[in-house]
Structure 1
Amino acid sequence: MTETDVDCENLIADMTTKARSAAHILARATDDHKSAALKYAASAVRIDTPKILAANALDMAAGVASHLSDALLDRLKLDEKRIAAMAEAMDQVAILEDPVGQIIDTRTQPNGLTMRRVRIPVGVIGIIYESRPNVTADAAALALRSGNAVILRGGSEAVHSNRAIHHAMVTGVTQAGLPSESVQLVPTQDRMAVGAMLRAQGAIDMIIPRGGKSLVARVQDEARVPVLAHLDGLCHTYVHSQADPEMAQEIIVNAKMRRTGICGATETLLIDQDYAAPAKLVAALIDAGCEVRADDMVMELDSRTVSAQEEDWDTEYLDSVISVRMVAGLEDAMGHIARHGSHHTDAIITGDEKIAERFLAEVDSAIVMHNASTQYADGGEFGLGAEIGIATGRLHARGPVALEGLTTYKWLVLGQGQTRP
């Protein structure tokens, strides 16, 4: 059967039916059972490393042939170290505290009724993502650990890598005695399959998109299923007048250049007009291989800069490019972030604790940092084992979404024969 022969509506309907059956089993699975499945899966990933590398080589060759940017190729690339980290992340998720069954709060009414809120799995989760094959492992691990069945639809750029990783995941899941349908990968790259997932109201309980603006916009526009949005990472770092120059330079270069293709990379640098060493910041970025798109004041600091256009302040480059603007203090910096940010991750570098407190309190982003690189916007760095995305909205979950973000709750009411008058 070719891609064009696939009946996507029936395919997704069949997958969701199987996922629902698996979800009922997972919801009753013990902590030890789910943990064992992830440990087996991590072992299978390690054993299958040569197969995963071979599959990734096919994707990388196709990516080069289709002229993907260096940053997107970096997102796509797997090596032994990254695969080992993928397996280690699964092992870490396996030993995290199981959220299912946790009592959130308890209250007893005057009539003796006890009301208790308890965490339960969401049910069936659909994840639509692009480019990064590690999402296949991270998403499956987090969904399984929190008692959810998951349907994965990866991007065409990583199709071979995703299939190889998924095969290893299923090996581990079934070795633990859990249903293979706990973790399903949509077997077609036909875009109609995405539409079928978005229309699967009642069959899929929550959709999580991970990708660029166009993907997220489509999901939000078309979905009839609740969406936990992971929007673009238009992250800012503001260097305040009281920032330590050595610290500022080290943080800025790391925040932009450590990995340019991740959502936590700083895309806009705001420099206080009273900061002591702005030229050194700009030079350090350029010397590190970064193109600096600057406003007029910053352009005067280094002839190697280029003029920023208005759209640069709203661009997530995911590449070795940064926009830099001089600002007239804290209010100006926070105003710029409010106008142009994506509510993902924003940071301030300053030695003034009161200024830092204002920034942390008033910047409306999922993650706000003081004297740290925005590259720490990662669930693993938060001690969550892995993440399914950085949620930038306000409802249900915000920031790195891990186990708790993939649960909901129900009320348990315990009585001794009470009747309502």
Structure 2
Amino acid sequence: MGNHSFKEYAISSTVEQIIEGLGFFNPTLIQEQVIPAVLRGESLIGQSHTGSGKTHAYLLPLLNQLEDESQHVQFVVTAPTRELAMQIYNEVKKAVELAGKEEVWKSSLVIGGTDKQRMVEKLTSNPPQIIVGTPGRILDMVTEEALDVHNVKSFVLDEADLMLDLGFIEDVDQILIRMNEDLQLLVFSATIPERLQPFLKKYLVNPTHIKIDDNKPSPESMEHRLVALRHKDPADLIMDISKSIQPYLAIIFTNGKEQADELASGLLDRGLETGLIHGGLSPRERKRMLKDLQSLRYQYIVATDLASRGIDIQGVSHVINARMPKEEEFYIHRVGRTARAGLEGTAINLYTEEDFPLIEKLEKRGLTFNFYEVKNGEWREAKSYKERQKRTPVHSELEKKAKQMVKKPKKVKPGYKKKMKQEADKNYKKLKRDSYRKKR
């Protein structure tokens, strides 16, 4: 939090009432910079990490600019996933209720997975001033002439880099070309990839660029633990870890849908009640899973990066990286799911030698990693990865030879990889003993 107060901004008594009802005292770092810029009518690019207070950074000033008497769409907020759009819409509804403006400020959630014709009828019979939704369905409503966006004053593009990854930027482009040139465009993105630049240059001329980087890539209340994976199956190691922690909710990250499916299945087979969220699930499955999460059915949920970005999962006490990501920013996003709102959190990382470069980069950014191993459900301090790096070439050669000694079965059966790893581990230990005896 900064040292500023919401009272410093030129906001109405109605918005002050919303802020008070939300229980906000001081603006967050991104709110300090975004709120006055939006109030001045500036277009901007905002960069901040998960949990920074970004949503209210744009919602509060946009609500401040609403004209009660104007019965047309005044601002549009787009999000890459239905779940994220629903969460933003719920914040809009909450703000409207706190303002006591239910009969004046009309809003609509425009997402797929709902009856298209019914949505057309609703939008044409009762035009809203606020639209929150996904680009594809908003574009549908515009082309069906159920939505008139010509007079929209402000347009929010949330999670722009994820929009790009999921292929929705073209839909956004088709919506924007139907809007006025003097539109206030607010783009929020954790990262600004090179592929996003043509879009930004097309629609933004000298925008205000706000980047929140207070040199703290994760909250001080978070601990980062490193646990060597070695030749173990991640599901086995996570089961052992589960005996040593009591999470309110733990998100277990993998690098892709196939890994997520395999890990969730492995944990369920071992008796750990585990949920699963990734982009390959059907809308119905995702909706059911989110409902189960809200009802606290699961203590553990396996997720991919894209799913985690599009969903705000509350109450996460632990983040477990079954596989560490390849890039720093993805690590920051993952661990940003916990230790929010001043609460404590723990990030547990299963690592291999391939992760050393990433760990070093994160250490340079100020993160401190503690090294542990888990035996019989108990944490024990372990040697750092740097000490492990000093292993002699002989050991590396022995590992290579141990793997070569394992014969791949002609007929592949479930669990064959695990068996091959176990056999390679046994071979390595035997070769190591033999090598030691020869030296004596």
Answer with 1 or 2: which has the greater Rg.
Answer: 2
TM-score (norm 1): 0.26
TM-score (norm 2): 0.25
| Larger relative contact order (Cα-Cα within 8 Å, sequence gap ≥ 6) | 1
